[in-house]
Amino acid sequence: MKDSAAKHGDEAIISPDLLCQLAYNEKMAELGKISAGVVHELNAPLSVIISAAQMIMREEGVPDSVLEMIARISSEAQRLSHLTKGLLKFSSHDETIGETDLNITVDFILNFLNYEAARRGVIVLRQFDYTLPTIRLDTNLLKQILLNIIMNALQAMEDGCGKLLVETAAAGSDNICFIVTDNGPGIALEAIDRIFDRYFTTKRPGEGTGLGLFVTKKLVENMGGEIAVASRGGGGTTFTVTLPISR
């Protein structure tokens, strides 16, 4: 990335590129706040749909074919309600420190990004270790870490033949980890040492701020964990995040 900001006396000189990135960031932050309101508003009609469906299912003499359709409406509405509640919790500013299940958290983010993956034609594979212990941390921050890494992987696979694998596993006796592997173009050798730098991006102005991995690395380190990246010559990138079971 070009030298975006330089200190000149007391005044910070902001380049047009950086200004464009900051404006984009601000816009997305505002949009995020508005979306949280929209998601909140979805809760009431969803509750009405779910309870109306349940009332119909309790009625006598409803034909089986109708019951089947109502059951589908009910289960889809419950799925949406679950997602909106999860999103509201994720968007809240409150700390959400508690015993956290890595598999459930990965699953939540993958479901949340389902549309982003589908519109790029990316096949998403999960390989979970269901014997992992829970770990005590801020679940929302873990979601943010996963979101940044997985969104980067999806953005790298725009060609319609992407494959994303998310694994969870034990890492020795004291740590657990998750591994995100994509078959995108990979990261160039000259860029790989810089991807965690603040404002380093290879995306066009307005498409990326270069803050995602910078923030991600700080969050992982604050949790006492580590983040590592490996990229193969012929394409494909793997991010591994290791987190301590207890601190």
Ligand X SMILES: Nc1ncnc2c1ncn2[C@@H]1O[C@H](COP(=O)(O)OP(=O)(O)OP(=O)(O)O)[C@@H](O)[C@H]1O
Q: Which chain residues interact with Mg ion by CB under 5 A?
A: 152, 212
Q: How far is residue 195 CA from its own chain's centroid?
A: 18
Among 22, 203, 230, 245, binds ligand X (CB under 6 A): 203
Subset of residues 226 to 245 that bind ligand X, contact rule: CB under 6 A: 237
C-alpha distance from residue 222 to each of 46, 52, 94, 145, 240 (Å): 38, 46, 17, 12, 16
Shortest distance (Å) from residue 221 CB to ligand X = 15
Which does residue 112 touch among Mg ion, ligand X, none (CB within 5 to 8 A, set by kind)? Answer: none
Q: Which residue has the tokens 């889809």?
A: 76
**Nearest residue by C-beta to ligand X?**
212
Segment interacting with ligand X (CB under 6 A) among 36-44, 111-119, 196-204, 218-226:
196-204
Q: Does 182 bind ligand X (CB under 6 A)?
A: yes
Helix axis angle, 16-58 to 64-91, nearest 10°? 140
Shortest distance (Å) from residue 187 CB to ligand X = 5
**Per-residue x/- track, 138-177, ligand X (CB under 6 A):** ----------x---xx--x---------------------
Q: Return the SS3 of 203.
A: coil
Q: Does 209 bind ligand X (CB under 6 A)?
A: yes
Which does residue 225 touch among Mg ion, ligand X, none (CB within 5 to 8 A, set by kind)? Answer: none
Q: What letters, b where the CB count within 10 A reaches 16 and e where it falls short, cover 197-218?
A: eebbbeeebeebbbebbbbbbe
Sorted by sequence, the CB contacts under 8 Å of residue 30 that are 6+ apart come out as none
Give me the amino acid identity at 194. R
Instruction: Measure the CA–CA gap between 140 and 102, rounded to whole angstroms.
Output: 12
Q: Does 200 bind ligand X (CB under 6 A)?
A: yes
Residue 140 near residue 96, CB atoms below 8 Å = yes
Q: Which residues bind ligand X (CB under 6 A)?
A: 148, 152-153, 156, 182, 184, 187, 191, 195, 200-203, 208-214, 237
